[in-house]
Amino acid sequence: MNQQTIQKVALDSCVVIDLIEKPTFTRRVRKSLKGKSIQIVLCDVVLNEVQKVRGYSQEKIISKISEGLKRKIVIVPVNDEEKIQAKQISSQFQICHNGDNKILAICQVKNFILVTFDRMLRKASEFVGIAVFHPLCVAGI
């Protein structure tokens, strides 16, 4: 029996905002993901950041991304273990602000791939051993 592994991909807030606000970008990402066994994951920290910055409700954020990418979205809360890991990441990398360190921690602990435009976050991801992609390179996942 050949069972296909589903890879979980976490989106950073900058990617989420572009998926909501830029239909052309959304179509491009959807096309890149077509045929791949990928589950889209949103960290609760990302939901809160997008809600704070853009004023979208969590329901709107989830539905717009789900509709745009034609995939079910899974919300993952940051647990205590990941909060501890986030503090350790912050002590190693001063460039990681409070939200980024939690995103990195959840990706590290749960073995998620991170997708972000943020160059510094991509660099920190590489240092802590997290697979990371620029959104326009997700076809390589």
CATH number, position 61: 3.40.50.1010
Number of domains in the chain: 1
pLDDT bin (cut points 50, 70, 90) of residue 1 is very low
Q: Is the pLDDT of residue 95 over 70?
A: no
Structure tokens that stand for 137 in this block: 């390179």
Residue 2 lies in a domain: no
What digits encode the pLDDT tens for the residues 19-59?
A: 999 999 999 999 999 999 999 999 999 999 999 999 999 99
Could you read off the pLDDT of 100-139 as tens digits, one per residue?
889 999 999 999 999 999 988 898 888 889 999 999 887 7
Whether residue 29 lies inside any domain: the answer is yes
Q: Is residue 61 part of a domain?
A: yes
Torsion of CA 104, 109, 113, 116, to 10 degrees: -10
Q: Is residue 47 in a domain?
A: yes
pLDDT tens string 70-87: 999 999 998 888 888 888
Range of the domain at 83: 7-140
The region, left, alpha or beta by phi > 0 then psi within -120 to 50, assigned to residue 40 is beta
Cα 111 to Cα 9, 75, 105, 108: the distances in Å are: 9, 15, 10, 5
pLDDT, averaged across the chain: 90
User: Can you give the pTM of this predicted structure?
Assistant: 0.89
Asked if the structure places residue 89 within a domain, the reply is yes
- Residue 1 in any domain: the answer is no
